[in-house]
C-alpha cells in the first residue's frame, strides 16, 4: 500500500496496489501488519457500511472521551468527498481539515485518527461507503460539529440547496460553540 501524508499530521490517504486484467481487478483492502508499520498501530473492532444518494451529507461526527474512534474509510461504489476536521484544542492545525475524493474506481482509503470530526458528501447518483472503527459505537458518546460552519472553510462540492441532511445533522453546533473538544496533549490511544 502507498501511504500519502496530508497537511495534518496522522491523517493519511492510502492507495492500495490494484492488480487489473481482463477478468477485473484484485487488491488487498487491509493488512494489519502493514497498516501498523506505515500508519499507526490500531485494532479495528467494528465495520460499518452505508448507502446514500446524491447530495446526502453525513457529519461532522465523532465519539467523545473513552469512546473516541479512529476510522479507515473507503467507497465501494460511487463517489464521495470525505472530510476530517482537527478538533483537538491546542493543536497547530486546530479547526483545519483535509478533504479527499474517494471513489469505487480509485480505491483510495482515508485514515481519520481519534480527535477528529468526520463527514462526507455524496457526489454521485449513489454511493456505498464502508468504514472500520477502532472502538465500538456508543450512542451516549456522540458528538458533532455543524457541517456548514463557515470557520472550517469546507467546500463540500455540492450546492447547499442540494444537501440532504438527517434531522440530527441539522442541529449541530459550530466549532466555537461545541461543548466538547479533544485535548491535543492527551494521548487518545491509551
- pLDDT tens-digit series, residues 8-42: 999 999 999 999 999 999 999 999 999 999 999 99
Q: What confidence score (pLDDT) does residue 177 get? A: 97
Q: What confidence score (pLDDT) does residue 190 get? A: 84
Q: What confidence score (pLDDT) does residue 132 get? A: 98
Based on the residue annotation, tell me whether 67 is a catalytic residue of this protein. Answer: no
Q: What confidence score (pLDDT) does residue 182 get? A: 97
Distance (Å, whole) CA 183 – CA 58: 24
Burial of 75 (0-12, 13-18, 19+ CB in 10 A): buried
Q: Of residues 107, 118, 131, 172, which has the active-site annotation?
A: 131
Based on the residue annotation, tell me whether 118 is a catalytic residue of this protein. Answer: no
pLDDT-flagged residues of the chain (< 70): none
Q: Of residues 54, 61, 172, 180, which has the active-site annotation?
A: 61
Residue 83: partners with Cβ closer than 8 Å, 6 or more residues away: 59, 60, 97, 98, 99, 118, 119, 120, 154, 156
Amino acid at each position: 500500500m502507498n501511504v500519502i501524508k496530508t497537511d495534518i499530521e496522522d491523517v493519511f490517504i492510502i492507495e492500495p496496489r490494484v492488480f487489473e486484467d481482463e477478468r477485473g481487478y484484485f487488491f488487498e483492502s487491509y493488512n494489519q501488519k502493514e497498516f501498523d508499520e506505515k500508519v499507526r498501530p490500531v485494532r479495528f473492532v467494528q465495520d460499518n457500511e452505508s448507502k446514500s444518494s446524491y447530495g446526502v451529507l453525513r457529519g461532522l461526527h465523532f465519539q467523545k472521551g473513552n469512546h473516541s474512534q479512529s476510522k479507515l474509510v473507503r467507497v465501494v461504489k460511487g463517489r464521495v468527498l470525505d472530510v476530517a476536521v482537527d478538533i483537538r484544542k491546542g493543536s497547530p492545525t486546530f479547526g483545519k481539515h483535509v478533504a479527499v475524493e474517494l471513489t469505487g474506481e480509485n480505491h483510495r482509503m482515508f485514515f481519520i485518527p481519534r480527535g477528529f470530526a468526520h463527514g462526507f458528501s455524496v457526489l454521485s447518483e449513489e454511493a456505498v461507503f464502508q468504514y472500520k472503527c477502532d472502538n465500538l459505537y456508543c450512542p451516549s458518546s456522540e458528538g458533532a460539529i455543524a457541517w456548514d460552519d463557515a470557520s472550517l472553510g469546507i467546500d463540500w462540492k455540492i450546492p447547499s440547496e442540494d444537501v440532504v441532511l438527517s434531522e440530527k445533522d441539522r442541529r449541530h453546533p459550530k466549532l466555537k460553540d461545541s461543548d466538547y473538544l479533544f485535548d491535543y496533549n492527551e494521548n487518545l490511544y491509551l
